[in-house]
Amino acid sequence: MEIVSEWASHGGRQLVARHASEAAGGEMTFAVFLPPQAKEGPCPVLWYLSGLTCTHANVMEKGEYRRAAAEAGVIVVCPDTSPRGDAADDPAYDLGQGAGFYLDATEAPWAGRFNMKTYVTEELPALVAAEFPVDMARQGIFGHSMGGHGALTLALSLPGRFRSVSAFAPIVAPSQVPWGEKALGAYLGPDRAAWRRHDAVALIEDGARLDEILVDQGDADNFLERELRPELLERACTEAGIALTLRRHPGYDHSYYFISTFMADHVRFHAERLKS
């Protein structure tokens, strides 16, 4: 691993690192914020998964998480959204580079490199645990849009891994919306039964459970009705007995103006559940 940039911030350190990734078949870059408490010993870790078209840099530069993370003593790790390079090129913004959907692809040409589930849940955590003072017994996960989908599906499919889960404007049922149908079909093939393992609503319907979930959604989000459909998650959680806090915010859209407004709430939500 190589540290490519570093800044002091709120008494801690904001780093950008890169490393050779077997799961992604090439070099990957991620951001990590170390709060001041990390100088004294291991801290809980919060994984942030970004949305379509993003890299680690979007939330690092616009997410405004560092003050709250420094106050709470939480390490924040922000992976990239997909492998990079010519082999990952696609003319569409919602497939290929920037659109890994946090799954392991089985279909050509994506299989062999687009292993974002393995990368985010196995390879990167092992690297972070080896290089930084993280308490891996205290992990939380959150994300935005496609990253909100990733946070929900990874937490639902890895019971006990994450003590806390939240999302900003997540894609809750990719099997039922155009973004998800396109990506899941391309990466996993036509068998919709395989898609269900990467669909939060389907996972809940099939028996996966979480204690609680926090979701923030803007009502001026232009993707709300076609791609996000939070009412499907709300119904699934009600039927499954999962404590979902779904906060709808008048006037807010899908951008980082929205995310940054409520970021501190999410960091505090996770920190409270990662304390013990």
What would the pLDDT profile of 221-264 be if each residue is shown by its tens digit? 999 999 999 999 999 999 999 999 999 999 999 999 999 999 99
- φ and ψ at 247, to 5 degrees? -100, 120
Residues 37-50: pLDDT tens digits? 999 999 999 999 99
In the predicted structure, residue 31 carries a pLDDT above the cut 90: yes
> In terms of residue numbers, what domain contains 178?
2-274
**What pLDDT is attached to residue 85?**
84
At residue 177, the pLDDT reads 98
What is the CATH classification number for the domain harbouring 120? 3.40.50.1820
> For residue range 112-136, what is the model confidence (pLDDT) as tens digits?
999 999 999 999 999 999 999 999 9
State whether the Cα torsion 8-257-43-57 is positive or negative: negative
pLDDT digits (tens, 9 = 90+) for 156-183: 999 999 999 999 999 999 999 999 999 9
Structure confidence at residue 87 as a pLDDT band (50, 70, 90):
low
**CA nearest neighbour of 231 among 189, 170, 175:** 170
The one-character DSSP state at 37 is G
Work out how many domains the chain is built from and give that number.
1
| Spatial distance between the Cα atoms of 234 and 212, rounded to a whole number of angstroms | 12
Rounded Cα distance between 61 and 52, Å, is 16
**Contact (Cβ atoms closer than 8 angstroms) between residue 175 and residue 169:** no
CA distance 198 to 210: 15
Active site residues: 145, 221, 254
What is the predicted pLDDT for the residue at 86?
72
8 Å CB contact between 108 and 95? no
What's the distance, Cα to Cα, between the start and end of the chain in Å? Answer: 30
Contact 142, 151 (CB under 8 A): yes
Q: Helices (H) and strands (E) in the chain — how many of each? A: 10, 9
Q: Note the pLDDT of residue 45.
A: 98
**Stretch 139-166: mean pLDDT, rounded?**
98
For residue 63, the model assigns a pLDDT of 98
Distances (CA, A) of 58 to 98, 224, 244: 12, 21, 27
Show the DSSP H helices in the chain as ranges.
56-62, 66-72, 116-118, 124-131, 146-157, 178-188, 192-195, 200-205, 230-240, 256-274
